[in-house]
């Protein structure tokens, strides 16, 4: 049972959406994340070649959550004009990423920190989740960023900034728990720490993204009728999953480079985060 304001009200009251999307569904999300973490650990140790397909699948299953919009508390598909604008911004982002992959990654991390923090009851948890891999898996995170953006002093500075971001988020959550103990927040915080401490960085982020972020968004858009979510997200989800799977396979067989695949993924994610950042917050 979801506790808090109805989503139609929560979207209209500044600050209410974060608490309402967090409360009441935390433990279900934790169960899903825990189950996926166990599966991921088994895959990591028993079938390492399946780590990347599992990671890609979780990102693809979570990605359509940004494809349905809430207007006056009612979930709707975006208009044709919005889709055209979205793709135009994605093309610009891709061009900027190709020109400067490191700058593109930096923008992506900053927007992700804002995006995730907006959905958490305590903003610091979203910041910590964004940068946790920098602190808990530095060698693997370094290798990933080098594969995408190359090595150099600027890359080293990004890694240091990411570690500082993780520490800042950790302190913010710890302070919130010290000031006002909260069992749900503690569970969610512990889940994020465990995910990034035990799993490869991208796989840990994929589980957080799907189980601890996207599922809440799917529920919020579906309201009291889960079947409504399926009908709403199918027109967006099917192309996203098919296109994403095709991109992954093309990268796997060498038709698309890893940096280009990352650039395309970022180009499709950043407009969604920009839309939420720039959309005016309705007033009650």
What confidence tier does 224 reach under pLDDT thresholds 50, 70, 90? low
Q: Per residue in 25-43, pLDDT tens?
A: 557 889 999 999 999 999 9
User: What does pTM read for this prediction?
Assistant: 0.85
Contact in structure between 113 and 283 (CB atoms under 8 Å):
no
Tracing tokens 């599992």 back to the chain, one arrives at 54
Indicate the DSSP class of residue 122: S
Q: Where are the beta strands (DSSP E) in 210-277?
A: none
Most confident of the following: 66-75, 130-139, 210-219: 130-139
Indicate the DSSP class of residue 211: I
Q: Per residue in 7-24, pLDDT tens?
A: 333 333 333 344 444 444
Contact in structure between 266 and 92 (CB atoms under 8 Å):
no
Q: Per residue in 241-266, pLDDT tens?
A: 898 899 989 998 889 898 899 999 99
Mean pLDDT for the chain?
A: 83
Amino acid 254: pLDDT = 87
């Amino acid at each position: 049972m979801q506790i808090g304001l109805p989503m139609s009200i929560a979207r209209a009251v500044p600050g209410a959406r974060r608490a309402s999307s967090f409360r009441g569904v935390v433990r279900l999300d934790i169960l899903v994340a825990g189950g996926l973490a166990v599966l991921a650990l088994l895959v990591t140790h028993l079938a390492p070649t399946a780590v990347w397909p599992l990671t890609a699948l979780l990102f693809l299953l979570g990605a359509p959550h940004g494809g349905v919009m809430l207007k006056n508390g009612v979930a709707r598909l975006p208009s044709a004009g919005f889709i055209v604008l979205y793709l135009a911004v994605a093309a610009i982002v891709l061009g900027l990423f190709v020109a400067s992959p490191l700058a593109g990654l930096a923008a992506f991390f900053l927007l992700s920190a804002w995006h995730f923090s907006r959905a958490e009851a305590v903003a610091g948890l979203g910041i910590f989740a964004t940068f946790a891999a920098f602190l808990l898996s530095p060698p693997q995170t370094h290798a990933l960023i080098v594969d995408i953006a190359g090595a150099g002093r600027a890359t080293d500075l990004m890694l240091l900034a990411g570690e500082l971001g993780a520490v800042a988020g950790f302190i913010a959550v710890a302070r919130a728990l010290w000031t006002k103990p909260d069992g749900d927040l503690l569970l969610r915080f512990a889940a994020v720490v465990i995910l990034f401490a035990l799993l490869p960085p991208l796989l840990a982020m994929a589980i957080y993204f799907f189980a601890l972020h996207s599922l809440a968004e799917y529920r919020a858009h579906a309201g009291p009728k889960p079947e409504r979510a399926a009908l709403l997200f199918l027109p967006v989800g099917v192309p996203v999953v098919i296109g994403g799977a095709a991109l992954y396979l093309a990268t796997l067989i060498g038709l698309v480079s890893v940096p280009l695949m990352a650039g395309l993924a970022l180009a499709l994610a950043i407009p969604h985060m920009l839309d939420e950042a720039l959309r005016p917050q309705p007033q009650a």
